[in-house]
Structure 1
Amino acid sequence: MKVGQANDIAVFVQFNQLVAEASDEQSILRLLLDTVDAFIPHVDMAIVYLYDENQKVLRLGAGTGVSVQSLRQLAFKPGESLTGKVFLSKKPYLCLGKHDVKRKMANISPENWKWFREGTYKLDVTSSINVPFLSNGRCLGTFTLNRYSSSIPFHKKDVAIALGLAHQAALAIENVRLHQALAYSDAKETLAQSLHDGGLEHVLTRLEQLVHTPCTIEASVKEDEAIPIIRKRKRLGYLRPRQPLATLSVVDRNILEFAALMLASELEKQYDDYEQGLHRRNCAFQDLLNGDYRSVESLSRAPIYCFVLAGGVSDNIALTRQIETTVQAYFPNGHFSVYEGRYVVLASSCAYIDQLATYLQRHYHLVVGLSRPRMIADVASSYREAVLAAEMKSDAPLVRYQTLGCRRLWPSLDEQTKRDFVIDYLQPLLDLEPDYIATLAALIENGRGARQQTAKQLHIHVNTLYQRVKRIEQVLDISFQNERQWLQLMIAYELYVDGHTETP
């Protein structure tokens, strides 16, 4: 036996051993692509297409020397192009020249041709081997070797080698799929028993053990981060693994999809019960506004706070439930309801309101409006205060009614009256360069006497600030030392800010 032949046998034996030990399809395909160069010289492109049983098309499994991103767009029907012909016939094809290649690819669809040309960098293939991926007589896909850098075509013995390698890889893939099917079947049985024994939490605990990453049920996430939980075309939430979805194995993804399907019926029951309970609480809050306090007797002995979560109530009952769960974590004894398109909470304390508001803004883009403490008999007034605070234009997560000052009065003024006030007391200043209204804003924020602090905030010299103040007083025909005029100017500025989304 020649040395070269002995080396080939050793490599082939090692290849067989490695693919037999591989635990997933991609590892097998990578071994195949990495090994082919040891047997067949001058392979410029190596491509594996696998048959998609659901879509009934051949799609890219793996490739080297090509644009994988472009080739992933391919979807060959059985019988289409070289790939489809090999799959359908289960026989190898050897193309000895570029005209032979083009002839056998003649029935490729325009869409597939576009992506094939992009995926092969628009290079003309001069010779090609295409062999079936056979396992126990079943074709799993095809294995393609292309050459364009050499005018020497592939040889028949190269076809035999490609067939041998493809056959061993196909057998290994068939074994992996069988193992995955058994694991999936066992996982389904385990999860079903978990749901029967302990409900959702038990399922999530068991699921973590099966897919080796914690999983949670979320109301809203990015589509590519989780498996949707759907029942009767209604989205009930998402099953989200902590590990990125794209990094999970096929088996783990299948297990997650089964779990999502199984959880859907249980979640539907829970959400139906929750929706009915929420409806009762909504009605109770309406009764409360009308003077019936029986539903909140625990809150009737001391002053209570009302806070409104503004930003839009979602039709997604799962999201509403998740928001209530968040509120209950901070205010376990709070009364949560939905009224007039707003989330409403009544609580005997506001000790953790800042932390809650920050969390709600970060995760749900909600703004919290907080009322003054009042007895339950004045809950209607508390609700109005909380609504007014929540709907004030503010970037802050929490707006307290007590800190609104004269802005409490704005809702009682019509828009024309507010515009006229701004025009009468502020318009000449608005006609100047933006630096002047920014200077006024800083003076109101810091106090008109805090000239050093204001100059530092504006990054200007204090003398420049004095010149700007003098210019503002001149164009408005006022004095900052006149208390009445300064008050009117501050009110005009607050009205101006309230009417504009961008403040100076």
Structure 2
Amino acid sequence: MNPLTRIQDFLVEACEQSYFQIWISIYQDRFSLITTKGFELPLPFPSLHDVHRDMIEYPDFTDFYFCYDESRSIIVIRVEKPNLSLERINQLEILLINYYLEISLERERFIRHKMMESIRDISNLDNVDTLLTNILEHALSVIQVADFGVLWMYDEKENALLPRAWAGGPSESIQNMRMNIGEGIIGKTYQEKRTMFLSLLKDILHESSSIRKENLQHLFNAYSFTNLQSIISTPIFVENETLCVLIIYQNGERPLFTIEDKKVLESFSDQVSIALTNSRLFQNIKHQNQLLLQRDEIHDTFMKLSLQSSGMHMIASDLRRMIQLRLVIIDLTDDSIYSSPNHWFSEDINELRRKFNSMDAPQFYSTEQSGKQNTFYLQPVIGINQFLGMLIVEVTDKWLLPINKLIIEQASSIIALEMIRNQTVVDSYYQKTHDLFHELILCNDASIQNTKAIELGIHQPAYYLIILIGIPSHDDIHYMNMQNHRLILENKKRFREYTPIVFGFRNKITIILQSQSDTIDVSGHLKQLQSEWKQGNHLPIKIGIGLQYNRIEDIKKSYNEADKALSYLNHRKQPDLIHYKDIGINRLFIHQSQEELQTFINEVFLPLQNEKEQNQFLEKTLLTYIKQNRSAGETAKQLHIHVNTLYQRLKKIEEKLHISFSNPEDVLRLQLACYLKN
């Protein structure tokens, strides 16, 4: 038999009551009628104002009050005739305690059930808004005295708290509210990161005084408050940061929220935190998964382009279709530009090369033209550890979608492969041109020479001039090829008027210039090239120039002269550009090593250095004497000595070197030694 049936039987049998009612109020909520016998409805609700009394007598009935949990829960037994003895009341109280414990246990089961439902809901990540609303509804069903609740979430873009979920009756007008941080109870809860439990109307009004007028209007439009009595507002933390505020309201005749309600609400706020954390993780994993799928699709697309060898124009076109932004591919190996759409990019390629010659990571770049600010995203194109070019994308406000950055990064690898492929083709062309040219200069048959010249693109008749450019050796062959390509491109642009034939092989570039004029002026162009190349690449280049001829068979002679001029620069500390005609007597020493030349110089000057006290005198005397063309008077004048003293020194030199100044062969030897020493 359940406790309520026992109470009813006890009232009928032991107390002889044929008229009775049982009312109950949990946590001082309004009374509910549990059971009635004999009385005709309706009858008035018992009074919560008189809970401190044990019995209240009315004309037609009497109410007996039994209080529990510090008078927060009350059971009222209403009878027609109050003929209950103290003994019967004590017996009835025992039965009521059992009944109240059963009700409390049932309530705990209900709370636990709702908690479990909420916990099960947390795993449902398909619709977070629905999940949050369900959790809020569960909280309100457990905290029965609450009339409605709202979950507020901070929005970074609006820098305000926005209603994310609500339950208990608010209309859609609540969506118009925007609570600033620190504004009202909600904003203050967020700001101070603590639960606010308000059970006095004056406290509620005080804390709500900072709410803006428009927010109050939206709140009153959303819900009709009737005697607001108490509020609980608690913050919700996600990853140690305050993200939300959960607030519940209670209307009625008196405040009904309890500390237990606060704890229950905080428990549900923890569930909201878990739900939002799971949602974040789920969305992040989902996003990462989408990125991986997109990355695979992007990779497959570009691999197909690469395998099909569609060319740079097709890569630019497909890339623009994928990111929906204007772009340009700049190939610095040959200064080519591939834009999509065509002809939209107006930046100077040489200026970009100067500014970003060593770029190794993406960056934003802004320029201003005709009063308009242009912003670009620059992605370096790097292949075989070499900076080959760049991919430039027009953007807004230095911002680019992560997926577009991913696409651009993938594209740069394919572009690098395409550039290297193009370089390989060009390298093959240069190799064939090199072989063909050397077949031309090694051939002695005039008809074969003419055939080879036509194959090379050499015009007849014309004046011909050979220029050789030496590049410093480098361990990285790909780096050497890159330098070759760029130098060849520069020379083609500078000598366009001379219909140049330019090719590179290893660390040497060969230039064949052709002109109808018997004067080919190249010094200015080459000096400027040297200066700009050293400034932009920090590498010196040496240039040898042959003589000009007007016969095909003399191209070989001009080449050999340019080669000797380049060899001379490589073996001597001389300027980095020289014409063969300017070498002079040095032509005799081009193929002698430095060691051989130093030995020759030492044979003349070391014997003069045996005596320390005369070292400077004899060496300087000999150098001055030869420089003054063996004039005794001019030599003595230059040395500030008497001419007799000069003759004594010259005699000493003859003795030490075993020579005679009257012997032409000895004099020539001394002249060469002095020339080389200088």
**What's the TM-score, normalizing by structure 1?**
0.46
Indicate the structure with greater strand content: 2
Higher relative contact order (CA 8 A, sep 6+): 1
Name which one, 1 or 2, has greater alpha-carbon Rg. 2
